[in-house]
A = this chain, B = another copy of it.
Amino acid sequence: MSEAPVLDLASLRRGCAHCSLQQLCLPAGIGAQDLQKLDDIVRRRRPVERGERLFRPGDALNAVYVARDGAFKTVSISEEGEEQVVGFHLPGELIGLDALGAGVHRCEAVALTTANVCEVPFDQLSFVASQLPSLQQQLLRIIGQSVGRDQDHLGILVRRQAGERIALFLHGLAERYRNIGQSATRFKLPMSRDDIAHYLGLALETVSRGFGKLQEDGVIEVVGRQVEIRDPVELNRLAHNAEHEEPRRRGRA
C-alpha cells in the first residue's frame, strides 16, 4: 500500500506545488493521469554542492533543471576566458534553456549554494509535450518568460548608470523572492559581489560602493550578503526613475 501510485502521485503533486513545475502542469487543467505522465519523467538528484555544475558549455542538452531550493548562476565564458553571468536562478526557475537553439549548452550552470534539483530529461519532456497540447503551450510560455527575463536583463545593462543598475537588480530580486513566497524585504544574497558585478556589467568595487551608498541613504541595510530593504518605494524610484532626475534639477525641468 505504501507503494501505491496514488501516494506517489500525491507526494509529487505536493512537491511540484511549490516548485516551478507548477507553472508547467497545474494551470494546464491537467488530469491525474496526465500529471502522472509528467511526474514519471521527473528525476531527483542528490544534493548539489556549492560550486558544482549541472552542465558545461558544449554539453548536449540532456535535461532541463529546476532547483527546489538553493540558487544557481548561468555563466557564459567568452573566447578570451572572461566570465559573463547570464542569469541567476532561484528555486522554481528553469535552468538549461540556453541549449534549445543548438542542442548544446552555451553556458555553464554553477550552484551558488548547496541545492536540491529536479531533473527533467528533455527528450521525454518534449515527447510528453507533443502528446499534451496544453503542456506544450505551457512550455512555450515558460520559455517565453525566460526570454522576457533576458530582455529585462538587457534593459538593465543598456545606458543605465551603476546606481540604477544596482537598484534594479535588488528590486528584481525582491520581486522574485516574493513570487516564491519568501520575504521580499529581507533575504540573503546567494551570490558574491563579483557575481553581481559580472551580471550587471560593472566592476565589483562599483557594486560594493553602490550598496554602500544605498545604505547611506537609508534605502537598504546590508551586512555582507544579508540584505534588508528598508525603503522599497525609494528603491523602486531609484530603479525606474534614475537618481539624477530629482536630487539636482538643472535646466532640463
- A→B interface (CB under 8 Å): 76, 78-80, 82, 84, 86, 97-103, 106-107, 126-127, 129-130, 133, 136-137, 140-141, 143-148, 150-151, 153-155, 157-159, 198, 201-202, 240-242
Contacts and interface: CB of A to CB of B under 8 A. Distances in A.
**How many copies of this chain are found per oligomer?**
2
Given A126-B140, A130-B130, A100 B157 contact: no
B140 A100 contact: yes
A100 B141 contact: yes
B201 A144 contact: no
A222 to B, nearest CB: 23
Q: Taking chain A's interface residues, is the majority helix, strand, or loop, or is none over half, making it mixed? A: helix
B155 A157 contact: no
Contact of A240 (B80, B84, B106, B154): B80
B101 A147 contact: yes
A101 B158 contact: no
B101 A148 contact: yes
A234 to B, nearest CB: 16
A147 B150 contact: yes
15 contacts: A76-B155, A80-B240, A97-B147, A100-B140, A100-B145, A100-B147, A101-B144, A101-B148, A126-B140, A129-B136, A130-B133, A136-B136, A147-B147, A157-B157, A159-B202
